[in-house]
A and B are shown apart, each in its own frame.
Chain A
């Protein structure tokens, strides 16, 4: 089996995984769109309750991490494996920072009584639409966070392989494929950010 076909095999597989993951989120995006249509005012209010600076910071963090991993591949192709591996550390740090901020935001919400499920009914919570907004908020950012965690494991794995030189400037397909997954995780957040932080009206 020649190298071109072998690469096609793996690349098709990873794109299919990404497509599958996109479809996993699809129902949640659809629910948001539909519940927002039913409760536009409540959803707008919910957006305003979310912590702006955290959402913005997380967006910047993920965009930067995407750039870093894309540049790491560029460097790897040009033989600069050492610098590439530092960029990969940067990606992992970004992922960690993202998760820390996310947890902090959840903690803040919980402190205000916005806890999904039973918490809603004992919290200071008003409006059935706002309840749905925050249920979707937790579900979508939670599912996304799980994917960030999975992505961090994958990036750590390729980082270790770069260090062990089983990923090299000549053979680094695994790095490219993991990067695809990481970019997908970024793309999901690109949509979550406006949905939960920007769309106030």
Chain B
């Protein structure tokens, strides 16, 4: 059966491909490798924290481990994961296009990403960086570690991000199938579009921040060095102007996945489609107004801190709209209890708690106590792991039959989902308690009274790791020996399911004729 995997044939046809599906798959494999690397760093960190005096790693190694855990997870997994992998595979299929707007730039973005990632790995091998993933000055200028190399690597991956975002925006604007208006777009496409806006506007600011760190490290410019009259807080402004919207790059595509899975598994059109679109764009834009909440205790003016605190609360409104819309879509419906929907339930549960803890830390007066403690660590892991990673797993399981034409073992999948969910909760709930009790983040050792919470957290991390490995294993098995699933095992009306699974090389032999108004991506039969 001819499909994009085997047509055209040969290694060269893969390395020089312009097929968005192949590029997406290459991204998918690559980010999974980095997920495992980042996870390995995390596991070592957690294991070392079982003992208060940390017999496992030295303090310096500990610093480098959490730095590279952050760098690897943020830039080599989270940012590219859903957009560059699933976005690439699905956007053209969802809008009836042959490919993205600029297929060669798409391929270039992948290779640029790989070059950047390798550069970061070179920094790791050269001894690693110990500044934290945030590269704060003036320490990043002074640290005797491979700062410039790591900053350069991340800078290069940033170029890849911008090219990806640019491609998606141009694609959605100009390559929708005839008759498909903006209001007919699947919600996943909307979230990738909004993410792309953030990618092209925020990433350059990170680029500058990293250039300045590199220049400062290499040439002692002292731009942020108090000894030269510089102000380190200004670096934080520039850095967080990107890094806060970056978290919306990480969550918005995940929300798009959730919307798709919810609709398909409930066999219902999304409740409040317009509100979800509004919330999507709202998150992307308002997300740019909130960066100062990372700097409440850095020495910014009280005026600025108050301003950012209020603005940060506003973003929660949009997230809430989405959560209510998803639950409203599912309420009273006949839901297919499959692995993807189980990940959706996990997502909604953990995202709500993570989001509420976000509103909590956005409250300036409270954050003064929680900043730089495990409370913040727990908050963002609830969103990033409980949110994005869970959505990534949902996407993997939901579109697995689309990509392979096969189905994985439901038994193992549900077991692994339980392990991931429970493992996550056990890892990070104790961290809220740790932080609230005063345990600082980035510390290799700690007073004995915190030990029991650390032990619980590490036990959870082991369970989480086990669950993730299980997912990897049965998915690999299913690729080769899974039961044939047919073209549309979920009975989805979404456009990507209206072609064979796996899709053919050219997506659609002729431009598809879709009646997007009466037979759109959510045109499920109304239940009585």
A interface, CB within 8 angstroms of B: 1, 5-6, 8-9, 12-13, 16-17, 19-28, 30-31, 34-35, 38-39, 116-118, 120, 128-129, 131-132, 135-136, 139
Contact = CB atoms under 8 A, between A and B. Distances in A.
B195 to A, nearest CB: 14
B173 A8 contact: yes
B354 interface: no
Contacts of A17: 166
Given A13-B102, A16-B200, A128-B228, A116 B219 contact: yes
B237 A9 contact: no
B200 A19 contact: yes
Which of A5, A16, A118, A136 neighbours the largest number of chain B CB atoms within 10 Å of its CB?
Answer: A16
Contact of B200 (A20, A25, A34): A20
Contacts of B231: 34-35, 38
A9 B162 contact: no
A77 to B, nearest CB: 23
A22 B203 CA distance: 11
B221 A135 contact: yes
Given A20-B203, A118-B220, 20 more contacts: A5-B175, A9-B173, A9-B174, A13-B166, A16-B165, A16-B200, A20-B166, A20-B204, A21-B204, A23-B205, A24-B207, A25-B208, A26-B204, A27-B208, A31-B238, A38-B231, A116-B219, A117-B220, A132-B229, A135-B221
Contacts of B219: 116-118
Given A20-B201, A24-B205, A132-B228, A31 B174 contact: no
B444 interface: no
Interface of B: 101-102, 162, 165-166, 169-170, 173-175, 200-205, 207-209, 212, 215, 219-223, 228-231, 234, 237-238, 241
Contact of A30 (B173, B215, B220, B238): B238
22 contacts: A6-B174, A9-B102, A12-B173, A13-B102, A19-B200, A21-B204, A23-B201, A23-B204, A24-B205, A24-B208, A26-B205, A26-B208, A27-B212, A30-B234, A30-B238, A31-B223, A39-B229, A117-B221, A118-B220, A120-B228, A135-B223, A139-B215
Given A16-B166, A20-B162, A30-B237, A132 B230 contact: yes
A122 B223 CA distance: 17
Given A23-B202, A139-B215, A34 B166 contact: no
B218 to A, nearest CB: 9
B230 A13 contact: no
A84 B162 CA distance: 33
Contacts of B229: 38-39, 128-129, 131-132
Contact of B169 (A16, A23, A26): A16
Among all A-B residue pairs, the 4 with the closest Cβ atoms: A128-B229, A24-B204, A23-B204, A117-B219
A21 B208 CA distance: 10
Residue of A21, A23, A116 contacting most chain B CB atoms (<10 Å): A23
B241 A27 contact: yes
B228 A131 contact: yes
Given A12-B173, A16-B166, A131 B222 contact: yes
A138 to B, nearest CB: 9
A19 B162 CA distance: 11
Contacts of B162: 20
Nearest to A117: B219
Contacts of A131: 222, 228-229
A31 B234 contact: yes
A91 B201 CA distance: 29
B289 to A, nearest CB: 15
A136 B175 CA distance: 42
Contacts of A136: 223
Nearest to A131: B228
A9 B101 contact: yes
A26 B203 CA distance: 12
A6 B175 CA distance: 9
Nearest to B97: A1
A159 B43 CA distance: 57
Contacts of A13: 101-102, 166, 170
B371 to A, nearest CB: 23
Contacts of B209: 27
Contacts of B241: 27
Contact of B222 (A26, A31, A135): A135
A9 B200 CA distance: 16
A19 to B, nearest CB: 6
Contacts of B223: 31, 132, 135-136, 139
Contact of B201 (A8, A19, A135): A19
A159 to B, nearest CB: 23
A136 B173 CA distance: 38
